[in-house]
Amino acid sequence: MSRFVETIKLNDGVFYRLKFHQKRVNKAFETFYPDEEPIKLLDILNQTLIPQEGLFKCRIVYDSETSQLEFMPYTRREINSLKVVVMNLESKTYKPEDRTAYNEAFAQRGDCDDVLISRNGILTDSSYTNVAFFDGKVWFTPRKPLIYGVNRAELLEKGKLIEKEIKVDDLKHFQQIALFNAMIEFGEIVLDINSISL
């Protein structure tokens, strides 16, 4: 049976975007365990001794119930260059624990720090973040990412991003690319579009 994961940002005792994490858990249960009551992240976290100082990655692995909970100190990886790689991966509204396909994509990065995944000529994500592209006025994010991330969901809800189908050929129309996920805030990793290798 498949297992799923939620990676929740914990900074100085405060959890980020729990509402969006819970929505994603609910999606997994709707798809795989429609007769089961979804696990409640807040209840799980309230029963746990939580680090009160510093930045941590809270990782919850689950299937129809919680199977693992851990807190790990978090240090952001340095990303300065991306290589476009072609992978035929399926978009998911939940986050699977199995990262085999993403690791295969990452292994194709060559001399770059990470990859920018393309499916049928359409850009999706990096190996571990959602992405957005800036045209000088507006930030656009791919309409169908591989993983519907919680930070992405919050940014869309706040009107800071606009969904758009973005082709590899469209890269020349943009100035910058931003990488972000549950642990990395929007704006923390912003690269010049020329840092992307085709």
Of 145, 180, 177, give the one whose Cα is nearest residue 163: 145
Same domain as 66, residue 98: no
C-beta atoms surrounding 41 within 10 Å: 21
Of the three residues 45, 73, 101, the one that is the final residue of a domain is 73
pLDDT at 61: 97
Please name the residues in contact with 158: beta carbons below 8 A apart, sequence gap of 6 or more: none
Separation between Cα atoms, residue 82 and residue 96, nearest integer Å? 23
Same domain (yes/no): 99, 175:
yes
112 and 20 belong to one structural domain:
no
- Let me know whether 97 and 161 are in one domain: yes
> Along the 198 residues of the chain, how does pLDDT read in single tens digits?
689 999 999 999 999 999 999 999 999 999 999 999 999 999 999 999 999 999 999 999 999 998 899 999 999 999 999 999 999 999 999 999 999 999 999 999 999 999 999 999 999 999 999 999 999 999 999 999 999 999 999 999 999 999 999 999 999 999 999 999 999 999 999 999 999 999
Instruction: Pull the structure tokens for residue 138.
Output: 């507006």
Give the integer Cα–Cα distance in Å for 148 and 94.
Answer: 7
pLDDT at 103 (0 to 100): 95
Q: What is the structure's pLDDT at 2?
A: 82
pLDDT given for residue 130 in this prediction: 98
CATH of residue 16's domain is: 3.30.470.10
Task: State residue 21 phi and psi, 5-degree precision.
Answer: -65, -45
Phi, psi angles (nearest 5°) of residue 134: -110, 125
> Taken in order 155, 157, 160, 161, is the CA torsion positive or negative?
positive
CA angle, residues 36, 42, 43, in degrees to nearest 5: 65
Coil, helix or strand at residue 16: coil
Using the Cα atoms of residue 67, residue 183, residue 130 and residue 45 in order, give the sign of their dihedral: positive
Considering the domain architecture, whether residues 131 and 181 belong to the same structural domain is answered as yes
> Do 102 and 177 belong to one domain?
yes
Task: Among 73, 98, 114, give the residue marking a domain's end.
Answer: 73
Containing structural domain, residue 116: 82-197
pLDDT of residue 139: 98
CATH of the domain at 144: 3.20.10.10
**Residues 109 and 38 reside in one and the same domain:** no
Whether residues 46 and 136 share a domain: the answer is: no
DSSP string for residues in 149-173: -HHHHHHHHTTS-EEE--BGGGGGG
CA-to-CA distance for 68 and 82, rounded, in angstroms? Answer: 32
Q: Which pLDDT value is given to residue 67? A: 83
How many separate domains does the chain show?
A: 2
Q: What are phi and psi of 85, to 5 degrees?
A: -125, 150
Say whether both 99 and 190 belong to one domain: yes
